[in-house]
Amino acid sequence: MKQLGIVAALPLLTIVFAQVAWSQTAEPVFGDIAHLELDYATGEITTPNPGADTLVPSCYDNSAFSGFFTTIGVVGDEFVDWGLKSCSLSGNVCEFVFGYGTTALDPGAGGPGASVDIAFYPGYAGLCGALPAPAAVYSFSGLPGSPDGVTAAAFTITVDISSSGFAALDGALGWSYIATDSVSGPLLISTSGLCGGPGDPLTGTEDCFDLYSGGACVGTFAFGTPGIASFWMEIGEDDGSFGPGTSTLRVGACCTGASWCPAGPPPGVSGWLNGVYQTASPVAAAFVGISTLPDATGCIPGLGQVLINTTPPNPITAPVTKGSNSIPVPPNCALIGASLTSQVLGVTPSGFELTDTAIDFTIGSGGASSPFAFSSATLLCSPAAESAGTTYSLSVSGPRPGTSAEIEYINPATGQPLIHIVVPSVSPITVRIPAGVARFTHRLASLQHCPPPTFSKEVNVPVGQASKITCP
């Protein structure tokens, strides 16, 4: 815990570059800073054990506390600070630490607690330059506050964002505190940097910050007492030690025609950061399914072999088109080392066809200068080599573009699903029903813009007619 002395309020803010008046003061903090940890996925706040390490050691540390904080004042206004990050790691941010002071009454005393949003702007170098779209924005409410609603209290929060991280290459980095109440704001950090440069030799911070209001930069400001116009920020990233991901071709057992089964393995893998999963499709409409588990059901005539697990919540699906497609892999620390598998389903004039290969892959953690991409070039099974089956015309419509349908083939012997498929909104779709299937059901996918309860219909085959499903 850092011991703080009692100090007087500093003079009003002095305008550096703007030509407008502004009158927030730097307020003193009395007593100790309380250090807490927060899991952003669950919202749980805990008090770490004394001397305990954080989840990821901070590689960027702007935490030389000056003893003061400032309130942002106007809800919606944004204080933007900046510095130079030189972690030389993966660039995948898994954790950050922010510090705030507040007079908001603590939730334990019946108050609302403090609230603030934190945003990150890789590449931002300050002085009211062009502010890019944020790489990430994190919202916090009901945070610990003042015991009496009058005395300012100070806290730092170590935020675990393993499952919702962002990418930030080394270099200029901006971060901001956005007011969502009028009595909270950032802890002020000492800096030896000068406004306009040169910056602090350790952090790259300068003795000033930008104020944005209504989306426009009002000006660049500093306090009357020099050397404290910077805001608490520490950043921890994955160190890249897991290494690059892997990719392995897995061939199904249904296709036997040498002219249309895979000729060889896909290209390799080369690291990870802002990566993409790349897949190629030989048909105009298709989608890729990515699953956490492999599978190998029996051959379904007219469809192929299901090579990935299709039990919800598997698979995650994304539409692809003919040729090369890129599907973003989020820079998510929780995904590093994850083993996944994928397969493509094509929509052809005669129905659905599965690829006769799957790609089993792991997500790696390449260095910041070595982004990765998984690549594959799987081929669809030849429809000429399989039974045509019974066809069924299905028209899919929803409240807006992007609505998709779920189709489930039922095993007549067990009454259990043979395969569960989510199909994109290509309307109409000709469904080729696999031989030996007694019936199937279809419904609009509730996760794809169609509110529950979703419409479900069971269809016996052969049908010889068309059907249309719409949102209820």
Q: Which domains does the chain have, with CATH numbers?
A: 3-237 (no CATH), 240-387 (no CATH), 389-472 (2.60.40.1120)
Q: From first to last of its 472 residues, what are the pLDDT tens digits of the chain?
A: 332 322 334 444 544 444 334 456 788 887 899 999 999 999 999 988 765 555 678 899 999 999 999 999 899 999 999 999 999 888 889 999 999 999 999 999 999 999 999 999 999 999 999 999 999 999 999 999 999 999 999 999 999 998 888 888 899 999 999 999 999 999 999 999 999 999 999 999 999 999 999 999 999 999 988 999 999 999 999 887 777 667 777 777 765 443 333 333 333 332 222 334 445 555 556 677 788 888 877 666 556 678 888 777 777 777 766 655 566 666 678 778 788 888 777 665 555 667 777 778 777 775 443 333 333 434 444 443 334 455 556 665 555 555 566 666 666 666 666 666 666 554 555 555 655 555 666 655 544 444 444 455 565 554 445 556 555 4
203: tokens are 């952090």
This prediction's pTM: 0.71
